[in-house]
């Protein structure tokens, strides 16, 4: 990427990052904020409150230098989420608040969920929008988490659409969508709700909007090169640090020795046995030792369950387990 192209955007105050969180994910937020400011000390950071339970989080505003973005459209966005929700995720409608970013404070922005850590300078991910002439850039893809198999999905794929990107980390531009457009797309989406993933409502919705508009969107790794294809924590290989950068070692794999920009623990709970937990805890600041002790205690308590789960996951043992379980039920 040309430094001459990057520098003017880097100095503009309307380039930055939105993140969403509340007090329920406070521990995740601490790790996220520490990692973000380690690699992006001056980049503008804006919190979109996930819901009204954010008092502890708001108290961190000065320490980590982030702004608040509260918009009257939150209730209307939540109403879209509620209309599309099938009852699987009670908090699902709150995820739709993130889409107020399209008419928010920043002209070029990255959106990040809080259950991740930042391991690199994020400005190249934002400036890539203009440098490579994209409207929207994303990371991981999992089409089954967005569209149901069938004719609708097939038709999208035939038109080179329907990538099925995940909604936890992406970059875009102010004005790409309006609230009125979202409300119109919501009406359309309700008509084909059975062709969208039943659980990941906000994720299916933003994909649907990008595919219907249509939007020029692409994958960060494919556009930029040299960075890992996936940010989700559950990937093969391991992560190592070299010259203050993080890389994935996965000999023979597609991401071998490529840079890790973000690690995303989507779908995990804080008290799970987390992959790459050492990286997460390394960004817990003064509480690092406390969290290591908590993690060791958790590992001891859960060790028998983890061992049983590992054994059951083996093909022949898994078959025998379910066969015996089925016989017992009879």
What is the model's pLDDT at position 293?
Answer: 79
Closest by CA position to 220, among listed 131, 92, 298: 131
**DSSP-based three-state secondary structure for 151:** helix
Residue 44 β-bridge partners = 16
Averaged pLDDT in 10-residue chunks for the chain of 330 residues:
44 83 97 98 98 98 98 98 94 96 98 98 97 97 97 97 97 98 98 97 98 97 96 94 96 96 94 88 86 76 70 69 71
What is the model's pLDDT at position 257?
Answer: 97
Closest by CA position to 112, among listed 131, 98, 100, 124: 98
Right CATH for 3-224 from 3.40.50.300, 3.10.20.90, 3.90.550.10, 3.40.50.720: 3.90.550.10
CA distances from 6 to 3, 39, 121, 126, 179 (A): 5, 17, 12, 10, 30
What is the model's pLDDT at position 288?
Answer: 80
Q: How far is CA 23 from the centre of its chain?
A: 18
Residue 221: both structure tokens together: 């790794």
What is the model's pLDDT at position 306?
Answer: 65
Q: What is the DSSP letter of 258?
A: E
Residue 318: both structure tokens together: 């898994």
What is the model's pLDDT at position 296?
Answer: 80
Q: Report domain extents, the chain.
A: 3-224, 289-330
| pTM higher than the cut 0.85 | yes
């Amino acid at each position: 990427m040309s430094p001459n192209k990057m520098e003017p955007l880097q100095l503009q105050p309307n380039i930055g990052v939105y993140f969403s969180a509340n007090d329920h994910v406070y521990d995740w937020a601490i790790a996220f904020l520490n990692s973000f400011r380690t690699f992006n000390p001056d980049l503008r950071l804006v919190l979109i409150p996930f819901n009204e339970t954010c008092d502890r989080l708001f108290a961190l505003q000065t320490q980590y230098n982030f702004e608040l973005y509260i918009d009257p459209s939150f209730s209307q966005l939540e109403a879209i989420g509620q209309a599309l929700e099938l009852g699987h995720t009670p908090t699902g409608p709150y995820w739709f608040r993130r889409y107020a970013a399209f008419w928010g404070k920043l002209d070029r922005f990255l959106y990040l969920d809080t259950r991740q850590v930042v391991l690199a300078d994020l400005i190249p991910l934002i400036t890539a929008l203009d440098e490579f002439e994209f409207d929207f850039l994303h990371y991981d893809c999992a089409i089954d988490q967005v569209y149901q198999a069938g004719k609708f999905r097939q038709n999208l794929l035939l038109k080179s659409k329907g990538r099925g990107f995940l909604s936890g980390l992406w970059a875009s531009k102010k004005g790409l969508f309006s609230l009125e457009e979202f409300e119109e797309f919501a009406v359309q989406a309700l008509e084909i709700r059975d062709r969208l993933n039943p659980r990941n409502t906000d994720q299916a919705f933003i994909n649907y909007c990008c595919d219907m508009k249509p939007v020029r969107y692409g994958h960060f790794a494919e556009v930029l090169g040299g960075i890992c294809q996936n940010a989700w924590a559950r990937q093969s290989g391991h992560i190592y640090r070299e010259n203050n950068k993080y890389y994935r070692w996965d000999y023979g794999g597609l991401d071998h020795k490529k840079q890790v920009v973000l690690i995303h623990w989507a779908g995990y709970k804080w008290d799970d046995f987390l992959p790459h937990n050492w990286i997460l805890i390394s960004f817990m600041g003064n509480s690092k030792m406390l969290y290591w002790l908590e993690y060791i205690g958790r590992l001891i308590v859960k060790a028998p369950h983890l061992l049983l789960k590992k054994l059951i996951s083996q093909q022949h043992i898994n078959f025998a387990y379910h066969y015996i379980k089925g016989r017992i039920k009879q």
